[in-house]
Amino acid sequence: MQKFRIQEFSWLAFPGTSEEHAKFFMNENDFVCWKLLKWVFEDLLVTLQRCFFYCTEKQKEYSRIFYYRKSVWNQIMRMAVGDLLRQTLVSVKKQEMKTFCENNQQAPGKLRLIPKGDTFRPIMTFNRKISGGATGAAQNQGNQPLKRVTTNNRLGNAHMMLKNLKSKMFKH
C-alpha cells in the first residue's frame, strides 16, 4: 500500500472539502482501497486461480510456484499414482481403511505429489485430527473427552528419535 498514491485515483477523490475533513477522507480512502485490494487478491484472484489451476512447488525450488491446469494435473496424478501402485503403494478399500483407523486411533493420511525432475515425489501428510468412537471424540476412563491430536503429533517423538539417530550415524 505504501507505493500506491490513492490521491491519483479519480474515483477516490474528495474535491471541495476543508483541510480538517481531508485527513478523515484520506484515512477512509486508504481503508476502502486496502479492503478492495485485499478482496481482489485474496478472494477473487485466489478463487479463480484455484478453480482452474493446481499450484505447487518443485523439489529444490521452494521459492517458485508452478501452475498446472486442473485437467492436466488430474491426468498427471492418475499416471503417477498408477506408477506408485505398481511400485510401492498398496490400494486399500475404504471400509478396511476406516476400520484400521478406528481400531488404532489414527487418522487417514493424504497423498501429495511434488514434481521432481521428470518424476514425482510422494508425500504423505497426517495432519487431520484423530477422532474416536461414534460421537466423534475419544474419551478417557473418567468419561472426559480427550484432546484431539493429529497423527503427526503422535508420531513426533519417534520422528525426533529417528532424526537424532540418523545424525549420529552419518556424522563425519
With beta carbons less than 8 A apart as the criterion, state whether 26 and 6 touch.
yes
| Confidence band for 96, pLDDT divided at 50, 70 and 90 | very high
Instruction: List for the chain the helix, strand, coil content (%; round to 5).
Output: 50, 20, 30
pLDDT digits 0-9 by tens, 133-148: 444 444 555 555 556 6
Distance CA 91, CA 158 (A): 26
What pLDDT is recorded for position 70?
Answer: 94
The residue among 145 and 157 whose pLDDT is bigger is 157
3-state secondary structure (DSSP) of residue 92: coil
With cut-offs at 50, 70 and 90, classify the pLDDT of residue 4.
Answer: low
Mean pLDDT computed over 138-162: 72
Q: Who wins on pLDDT, 62 or 70?
A: 70
Question: What is the three-class DSSP state of 119?
Answer: strand
Neighbouring residues of 68: CB distance < 8 A, sequence distance ≥ 6: 53, 54, 55, 56, 76
In this prediction, residue 133 carries a pLDDT of 44
Cell 474419551 belongs to 139
Is the model more confident about 147 or about 122? Answer: 122
In this predicted model, what pLDDT tens digit does every residue of 18-33 receive, in sequence order? 777 777 777 788 888 8
Length of the chain: 172
pLDDT score recorded for residue 136 = 44
| CA angle (69, 55, 49) in 5-degree steps | 65
What pLDDT score does 103 carry?
85
Three cell numbers written together for 113? 505429489
